[in-house]
Structure 1
Amino acid sequence: MNVAMNAQTNWKKNTALFLGSQTFSMFGSLLVQYAILWHITLATESGVMMTISIICGFLPTFILSPFAGVWADRYDRKLLIALSDAGIAAATLVLILLFAAGYDALWLLFAISAIRAAGAGVQTPAVGALLPQLVPEDRLTAVNGIFGSLQSFMTLVAPIVSASLLAWASIEIIFMIDVVTASAGIAILLGLVRVPGRARDKSGKDETNGYLGELRAGLGYIRNHPFLKQYLSFFALAFLLMAPAAYLTPLQVARTFGGEYWKLTAIEIVYSAGMMLGGALIAAWGGFRNRTHTIALACAALGLSTVGLGCIVFSFWAYLTVMGVAGIASPLLYTPAQVLLQEKVDDVYLGRVFGVFNMITSSMMPIGMFLFGPAADIVPIERLLVISGALFSLLTLWPAGSRALREAGRPVQE
Structure 2
Amino acid sequence: MHLKKVVIFLTGQTITAFGTYLVQYAIMWHLTLSTKSGVVLALAAIFGFLPQAIVSVFAGVWADRVNRKLMIIVSDSTIALATLGLALLMLSGVKDLWLIFLVMAVRSVGSGVQMPAVSALVPQIVPPEKLMRVNGINSSIQSALGLLAPVAAAAVYANVSLEAILFIDVITAAIGLSLFAFVPVPTLARAAQKDKPSYFTDLKEGISYILGNSLVRWVMAIFAIVFLLIVAPSNLSPLMLVRNFGTEVWMLTVLELAFGVGMLIGGILISVYASKVDRLGAIVVTSILFGLLAIGLGFTTNLIVYYSLFLVTGLIVPVFTTSSFTLLQETVEPERQGRVFGFIGIVMSTAMPLGMALLGPLADFYPVELLLIITGAITVLIAIVAILLPSGKRAIASAHASTGVKADKAI
Q: TM-score range by the shorter chain?
A: over 0.9
- Distance between the aligned counterparts of 1:298 and 1:407, measured in 2? 19
Query: What is the CA-CA distance between 1:43 and the residue it aligns to?
Result: 2.4
Alpha-carbon deviation of 1:245?
Answer: 3.6
- CA-to-partner distance for each residue in 1:117-163, whole Å, 9 max, x for gaps? 10000000000000000111111111110111111111111111111
Q: 1:244 to 1:69 in 2, by over 3 A?
A: closer
Q: Quick one: which amino acid aligns to residue 215 of structure 1?
A: L
Corresponding position of 1:295: 283
Q: Which moved more, 1:56-65 or 1:220-229?
A: 220-229
User: Which whole-Å CA distance do the structure 2 matches of 1:175 and 1:66 have between them?
Assistant: 28
1:269 aligns with 2:257: yes
The Cα shift of 1:232 comes to 1.6
Aligned partners of 1:28, 1:289: CA distance in 2, in Å?
A: 32
Quote the residue 2:360 is aligned against. Answer: 373
d(CA) in 2 for partners of 1:399 and 1:149?
A: 29
Residues 252 and 406 of structure 1, relative CA distance in 2, 3 Å threshold: same
What corresponds to 1:353 in structure 2?
A: 340
In structure 2, what is the Cα distance between the partners aligned to 1:307 and 1:156?
Answer: 26
Question: How far has the Cα of 1:252 moved from its partner?
Answer: 2.3
- Which residue, out of 225, 228, 231, partners 2:219? 231
Q: Is the CA contact (8 Å cut-off) linking 1:21 and 1:188 kept in structure 2? A: yes
In the TM superposition, residue 289 of structure 1 has moved relative to its aligned partner by 5.3
Using structure 1 for the length normalisation, give the TM-score: 0.92
Q: 1:299-356: CA deviations, max 9, x gaps?
A: 12222222222222332x3221111100111111101100111011111111011101
Aligned residues: 401
Please state if 1:16 is matched with 2:3.
no
Out of 88, 102, 108, the residue aligned to residue 99 of structure 2 is 108
In structure 1, give the amino acid aligned to 2:25: Y
**Alpha-carbon deviation of 1:197?**
4.3
User: CA 1:246/1:94 → structure 2, altered by over 3 Å: closer, same or farther?
Assistant: farther
Cross-structure match for 2:229: 241
Among candidates 137, 140, 152, match of residue 161 of structure 1: 152
| 2: CA distance, partners of 1:150 / 1:105 | 35
Unaligned runs of 5+ residues in structure 1 are 1-9
C-alpha separation between the residues in 1 aligned to 2:99 and 2:367? 35
Map Cα deviations across residues 5-42 of structure 1 (whole Å, 9 max, x no partner): xxxxx111101111111111110001110111112222
The gaps in structure 2 that reach 5 residues or longer are 406-411
Identity %: 41
1:97-134 per-position Cα deviation (integer Å, ceiling 9, x unaligned): 11111111222222221111100000000000000001
Cα distance in 2 between the residues matched to 1:141 and 1:270: 24
Are 1:198 and 2:188 an aligned pair? yes
What secondary structure is seen at the aligned counterpart in 1 of 2:403?
coil
Q: How does 1:5-404 map to 2 (within 5 A)?
A: 10-190=1-181, 192-200=182-190, 207-286=195-274, 290-315=278-303, 317-401=304-388, 402-404=392-394
Report the Cα offset of residue 399 of structure 1.
4.8
Distance change >3 Å, CA 115–CA 207, structure 1 → 2: farther
For the structure 1 residues 199 and 246, does the alpha-carbon distance in structure 2 shift closer, same or farther, using more than 3 Å as the test? farther
Q: Is the 8 A contact 1:148 1:276 kept in 2?
A: yes
Secondary structure of the equivalent of 2:301? coil
Aligned equivalents of 1:398, 1:143: Cα separation in 2: 31
Q: Which moved more, 1:302-311 or 1:76-85?
A: 302-311
Q: Could you say what secondary structure the match of 1:116 adopts?
A: helix
Cα-Cα RMSD: 1.8
Q: Note the alpha carbon deviations across 1:15-72, whole angstroms, 9 max, x for none.
A: 1111111111110001110111112222233322222111111111111002111111
Aligned counterparts of 2:325 and 2:215: Cα–Cα separation in 1 = 14
CA contact (8 A) 2:215 2:399 kept: no
- Separation (CA, whole Å) in 2 of partners of 1:378 and 1:320: 25
Q: Call closer, same or farther: CA 1:413–1:244 in 2, change over 3 Å.
A: closer
Contact 1:57 1:114 in 2 (8 A): yes
Contact persistence 2:68–2:187 (CA under 8 A): no
**TM-score using structure 2 length:** 0.93
- CA offsets 1:199-242 (integer angstroms, 9 cap, x no match): 4279x5x9443322211111122122122222222221221112
Q: Distance in 1 between matches of 2:40 and 2:398?
A: 43
